[in-house]
Structure 1
């Protein structure tokens, strides 16, 4: 069995990586800014939790001690965490290398290097850090999660206007399957290629308006589906189809099947 350290192991994808790794019998340590309380949805009893901060280096050595592989699921969506996202990745890799960790795997976003959106720019900057690391690295670029689109619909439904972006399609993937891809990369045999990037996508490409219709039917939500333009860098990225890669259909859990499994919590 392998000893894994999951950085950002209390987030959406990180929790799934932790759960799947524990189910497979691996030893897991979790690095997060705050240790979640036992009994909470973010806490797995069989994992060891460490409070740490990649922006300062505090707690990293303790979390990484004895790990064979580190899986980096950190998000850094806003503010200071986003601004220091790449630097934090470099600090994490540096401590991992000193600790004898043999491989680092990072979650990223499809074609993040082709977007001017600040969150995607931070992801691309961290990818460049991984590409020059002293230890072996694998970057897993995923298409957008099902939960992102569901969140947009849910937010709009509060005011009875469900937005769909003009000219936009999605190839969403479940967080569970993105986590599986990260774990596969962590456990694969050593490679002669020091740094690798691969993309995993959802099982189908759908117009956003069709996804909204499915979401309404399954959740019973009320509200008018309203087609709106999405300006700025994110709109340009989505309209150009840079969030799609039909030839890389890794996932099998569709948006509809994911919604049906979560029907009672939506």
Structure 2
């Protein structure tokens, strides 16, 4: 039986990977700085405390691991600045432990966006692409969760924001998890890059309306400009990969399947 380790296995994407890998019959080990409380654990998963920044617990966490999936993330501040270094540490530790393949989750065309978060993601991908060991970089479009969070945040002040001229190709974390696990199990010694996106490219305005209808929100869908380089990046469609559709769960389906979707 294959042992899959998930670095960042308690986060949004990491938990989805853990759930999918367990359901597929694999042995799964979640590596994170803090172990989750019992009620937040997935049954059958070996949760280990491992800090890839300090190195504490990493060697023990990688014992007998066949492949590793990195879903570590940070949004701002020192944690974001150190994220590329963390990926270097993940690769070094995995190689030392004899892990057969490392898989990284990152963002489609991150290197073409000057935003700090995207640049950090691009730096991580470069480390994986230049690694001495077998790796796969999975370049992914935006999650449904991110889009819903933007809409819900705006709805709190009565507006569901839709950026002018922007389309999104959102994907479910369950679909992302399936691809990550598949790539972790790939044999061979080559380094690979994979691009994946959700099942449909849709204007942000239309997606906002889908969210409004699904949640019953009374907020008004409002088209607004998104200035700056990030806005230009999105309007140019660089966040899209319509030729690499792998997702099966649309935004409306995802919303319908969720419980407790916030409204305003």
Task: Answer yes or no: same fold by TM over 0.5.
Answer: yes
Q: Identify the residue that residue 234 of structure 2 maps to in structure 1.
A: 238
Contiguous gaps of at least 5 residues in structure 2: none
For 2:259 and 2:217, locate their aligned partners in 1 and report how far apart those are by CA, in whole Å. 11
Cα RMSD of the aligned pairs, angstroms, is 1.1
1:123 to 121, 124, 130: 121
1:233 offset after TM fit, Å?
2.9
1:48 to 46, 49, 73: 46
Q: Identify the residue that residue 177 of structure 2 maps to in structure 1.
A: 179
1:76 offset after TM fit, Å?
1.7
| Alpha-carbon contact 1:219-1:263 (below 8 Å) kept | no
For 2:54 and 2:225, locate their aligned partners in 1 and report how far apart those are by CA, in whole Å. 40
Q: How many pairs are equivalent?
A: 262
For 2:227 and 2:55, locate their aligned partners in 1 and report how far apart those are by CA, in whole Å. 37
2:58 to 56, 60, 73: 60
TM-score by length of 1: 0.95
- Secondary structure of 2:47's counterpart equals strand
| Alpha-carbon contact 2:255-2:261 (below 8 Å) kept | no
| Alpha-carbon contact 1:31-1:52 (below 8 Å) kept | yes
For 2:78 and 2:131, locate their aligned partners in 1 and report how far apart those are by CA, in whole Å. 23
Q: Identify the residue that residue 25 of structure 1 maps to in structure 2.
A: 25
TM-score by length of 2: 0.96
For 1:81 and 1:49, locate their aligned partners in 2 and report how far apart those are by CA, in whole Å. 22
1:13 maps to 2:50: no
